[in-house]
Structure 1
Amino acid sequence: MRLAAVLFTLVASSALAQGTPSAPARPADAKAAPAKPADARPTEAAAPEGKPGATSTVIVRCTDDCTVKLDGKGGVRQATNSWEFKDVAPGQRRVEANGGFLNRPLYSGFADIPGGMKVTAQIDSNKRLTITERVPLGQEPVAKPVSGAPSVLSVRCPKQCSVSIDGLRKGAANSQLVVVRDVPPGDHDVEVKFVLGSKAVRTKLTIPASSEVFATATEGGISITNSKPLAK
């Protein structure tokens, strides 16, 4: 009887051990898997913000001489192709422009004006209005006055093109070489539009005083290739 009890105890202990396997031992030098880093995404520059509900200043430019009205009201003429409107309420504002040959309609539509901003809009030859710049009021860059005699800018294109400086069309249109005279020294926004197709390129060129400046325009951009003092 005693032998039978011992055998029964041994069998029970073996069965219990087989039913609960022990966990494998963890190596002493094993390290925990590092946590996966969060996706790193580039930080986008925040768009300029004005003051919601505040009035804005709006500049409207045309490619030709023009007259512009905003919500049926006239503004202050800055140049033959540029008009300024102050204290403009934010929201959808109606813009109407006439000018060029026979004072034809250049644009009629709406522009979305944000609050507390200085907004610059450009009307192109295809009767489209594009907002080209928005700067919070009070943060407008102050242009440094540049002294000196005006210069001549010659723009060469691989095919027929037209040239606009600061939003105003200049020189002979539909030519591969456009010569613009009496360009004041300083920074100017230059746009070249190719006649065959709607492709246009834009850049800012710094024009020295009393110089003849040569530039080349392609569909890839505009660049100055040479400059020399004007002959006296």
Structure 2
Amino acid sequence: MTVLDLNADLGEGFGRWRLTDDEALLSVVTSANVACGFHAGDPSTMRRVCELAAARGVRIGAQVSYRDLAGFGRRAMDVPEDELADEIAYQIGALRVFARSAGADVAYVKPHGALYNRTVHDAAQAAAVVTGVLLAGAALPVLGLPGSRLHEAADKAGLPVVAEAFADRAYTSAATLVPRGTEGAVVTDPEAVVARSVRLSRDATVTALTGEDVTVRARSLCLHGDTPGAAALARRVRDALEAAGVRLEAFA
């Protein structure tokens, strides 16, 4: 039987503004990537999401980012490696306070947005993220793209790595994500997202934007929480996976 984790980005709000339907998504996913304040999130939001996740038995992950609240962490940035490592440790530590107060803990780390994409190819930035995880004082698993420089750095440092696939993002022929500025980079058709999810879980295969099939072997499947109707779509994906015989279970 295929075992798969479902993760989503949660806590992506700030003050009175909320982007993600955290409560609804937490009834579907098995792991929650919680914004730690640099691309979204604030202390009260982090506390609330951690409490909801802990009550539902959902694993809490630190979704770390470049310091880019105005750009939602999706703008390219050049941050010195030592500074980036400190900022990663800072974000993990902030989330850990609220996770532990809810009776849980931070179970893994996943970069967000521009940092996620940068660490696919940039060995120096990837190493800085791993240094930040180590500075935070725990050998946390690192969730990321299979074959990325981030996973190489994490593996070299002795951190567990977890391969991730995306149900609602387009892939290149090299099995990397199509940049968001490209037409078709985000898959918006619900039927297509559901079908891609089942195929990824069953065959470890997805059709690239250019038409060829590529292999993507993953333990966790990401569903973006900031797309319209995200919670209802996540429920459809979960139901389809379970109908296909997939056991949904957190990796951490």
State TM-score, norm by structure 2: 0.25
Q: Give 1 or 2: higher strand fraction.
A: 1
Q: Give 1 or 2: higher helix fraction.
A: 2
State TM-score, norm by structure 1: 0.26
Higher relative contact order at CA 8 Å, sep ≥6: structure 1 or structure 2? Answer: 2
